[in-house]
Structure 1
Amino acid sequence: MKNKMSIIGVPMDLGQSRRGVDMGPSAMRYAGAIEKLQELQIDTYDLGDIPINRPDQNKIENESNLKNLKQVSEGNQKLAEMVDLEIDKGHFPLILGGDHSIAIGSLAGISKHYENLGVIWYDAHGDLNSSETSPSGNIHGMPLAASLGIGNEELTNLYGYAPKIKPENIVIVGARSLDPGEKELIREKGIKVFTMHEIDQMGMSKVMQETIDYLKERTDGIHLSLDLDGLDPSEAPGVGTPVLGGMTYRESHLAMEMLAEADILTSAEFVEVNPILDDKNKTATVAVGLMGSLFGEKLK
């Protein structure tokens, strides 16, 4: 599948409250994402960006405490349809965000092709909130919960089925900011999490090897959802919710290189690049470098 790759941009900034992340797909293209993949001899089809409707500022929507629920759902529905079609063609979907709410659509389109889809959630956050537990109402903090079937029905039932994934098929890597409701859900569902404490203690090599071994045993496809705020803000400053003490540039390259060698991924997304908050497009450039490692770029 990786010989033919479909790039789908999702300029979504409605899952959170800081403007600018809708320019993430453009920033990654500008940083050379397409050229990088072509250098690696991958047939690359850039399908452009999915149109995202803006909310009507004159109309107050009181359907829930979830911000921009209607527009986030509509955008994710379009994404799910497009991803589904590309997998049908035998293409590897690479999705460029946009805020992390787009993972709801990614997983909805991908999961129907697998019995047991595995997910590597490379992120500072668990994104396991629902309308009941979210302190903010921002949907970018809910995609993993929604994909497990937890939360508002418009999100959990997106693309006509639920759940998309099983808790035992998830590995969260790099967590260091979890809300109380998320910690409780992780314990209750037995979700495998490698926090920064474990990465510091075990080393990234062991963490990734355990992640690969764990998911290989139980899944028939694996999706990587990489939030750039998984990296330390000194390495990736252009993100909406930076958290100190994250993964280094080198650790992240090692993680991607190990995934490339294991050859287990069937889809991937890179999200939360916000060029307005960035320093000379540094974060988008880091994202493209990680894509290179993930898809087989080697030093020798």
Structure 2
Amino acid sequence: MKKKISIIGVPMDLGQTRRGVDMGPSAMRYAGVIDRLQQLNHIVVDRGDIEIGRPPKYDIKNDDNLKDLEEVVKANQSLAESVADVIDEGDFPLVLGGDHSIAIGTLAGVAKKYENLGVIWYDAHGDLNTGETSPSGNIHGMPLAVSLGIGHPTLTEIGGYAPKIKPENIVIIGARSLDDGEKDLIHEKGIKVYTMHEIDRMGMTLVMEEAIKHVTRNTDGVHLSLDLDALDPQHAPGVGTPVVGGTTYREAHLAMEMLAERNIISSAEFVEVNPILDVKNQTAEAAVGLIGSLFGEKLL
């Protein structure tokens, strides 16, 4: 179906410690994301980038083990407002990151417009840490917990309300690196997770069929949050936290194609493209290819 898509870039690199991911939105634009979507007959509006503040020094932890908290909060508040405006105008919000801490703002803006939002979290990591459980203090490892209302109040209250989502409406796909605190929270909240073990054993087709059924049960919208580190590093080398043993490029395309066939996704973000760590913009090109599949591109 023809959509009006509003692209919002978020050049955020403060949710983690490896510089360069702030160039991710530019890399995906350079890889042709706008032309790709227009060739599929979608109407595309590029709303530019969210302004990101710069701290006097990087990677400074506060007393709650959170790095660069003030700047991350400000950027995500601005993003939440922009995303909500896009939805009010009837457009599809497509957010380009930036590190995965931007999902805090995306979900704050999206969930404000949906009473019961489903979430597909396509990622090597659970992103369910808090300041208490995080080994690093990097906020890009916390956005899913924050969106569940778990974590520092300045993060959980972005957008003026909490929680944004419910644990029973979440599916994590592609996980293969989970901290102990995240595992505990997954079991405590009953969050549905398809690790690489399930993908290997069941196949991506069955995983996606079950995931789609799960996130469309009693929900009124579905958000896709795709971290490029879900793909194996051989297919997406330009990410900050690569983990070997990830999904193949074709498995990821199949997942996007199945979502397109069902036409269930109402908002999306693609994050953690780091051109500094990339090889000839391979990861940005992979992201744009997946975006194409999500919005209806087919092999034949």
TM tier, smaller: over 0.9
The match for 1:213 is 213
Give 2:247's aligned amino acid: M
C-alpha deviation, 1:57, in angstroms: 2.5
Q: How does 1:12-31 map to 2 (within 5 A)?
A: 12-31=12-31
CA shift digits 1:197-231 (9 cap, x unpaired): 00000000000000111111221100000000000
Percent identity of the aligned residues?
Answer: 73
Q: Does 1:127 align with 2:162?
A: no
Give 2:100's aligned amino acid: H
CA shift digits 1:111-158 (9 cap, x unpaired): 011111000000000000000100000000000000000000000111
Gapped runs of 5+ residues in structure 1?
A: none
Q: Distance in 2 between matches of 1:60 and 1:124?
A: 25
With normalisation by structure 2, the TM-score equals: 0.98
Q: Is the 8 A contact 2:60 2:68 kept in 1?
A: no
Give 1:259's aligned amino acid: L
The match for 1:274 is 274
CA shift digits 1:9-62 (9 cap, x unpaired): 000000000000000000000000011011011100000111100002399774
Q: Distance in 2 between matches of 1:140 and 1:90?
A: 29
C-alpha deviation, 1:298, in angstroms: 1.1
The match for 1:145 is 145
Give 1:21's aligned amino acid: V
The match for 1:42 is 42
How large is the RMSD of aligned CA atoms in angstroms?
A: 1.3
The match for 1:199 is 199
Give 1:47's aligned amino acid: R
Q: Is the 8 A contact 1:95 1:269 kept in 2?
A: yes
With normalisation by structure 1, the TM-score equals: 0.98
Q: Is the 8 A contact 2:233 2:244 kept in 1?
A: yes
SS of the residue corresponding to residue 119 of structure 1 reads strand
Q: Does 1:69 align with 2:69?
A: yes
Give 2:20's aligned amino acid: G
Moved more, 49-58 or 162-171: 49-58
C-alpha deviation, 1:64, in angstroms: 3.0
Moved more, 218-227 or 54-63: 54-63
The match for 2:264 is 264
SS of the residue corresponding to residue 16 of structure 1 reads coil
SS of the residue corresponding to residue 216 of structure 2 reads helix
Q: Does 1:190 align with 2:190?
A: yes
Give 1:36's aligned amino acid: R
